[in-house]
Amino acid sequence: ISEVPAHTFLYRFGLTLNVHTHLYMCLIDGVMTQGPTGLVCYQVQLDDADIQRVRKAIRKQVLRLLVRCGLLTPGAADQTVSW
């Protein structure tokens, strides 16, 4: 069994207690498995194409969420997706 240790923290307010929802993530750069003598960490090898695929997927999901929440029009989302 492999695990990627990560913690996500949801913050809902800014410094002036205004609504400012955002996430903080703490993610270990590797994969941890249980070895015979304890945890073993294998470093993840990512190239630029891997990073671009993740960025594209996140951008698409965030834009879809903004449209669904009425914060962005579908036309604006279509224009923004290529940024």
pLDDT tens for 49-65 read: 887 888 888 888 989 99
Is the pTM higher than 0.75? The answer reads no
Give the per-residue pLDDT at 1. 47
Average the pLDDT over each of 7-11, 33-37, 54-58, 62-66 and give the range with the smallest value.
7-11
Q: Could you give the residue ranges of the DSSP H alpha helices within 1-83?
A: 48-68, 74-80
Strands 30-35 and 2-3: antiparallel
Distances (CA, A) of 79 to 70, 72, 74: 16, 11, 9
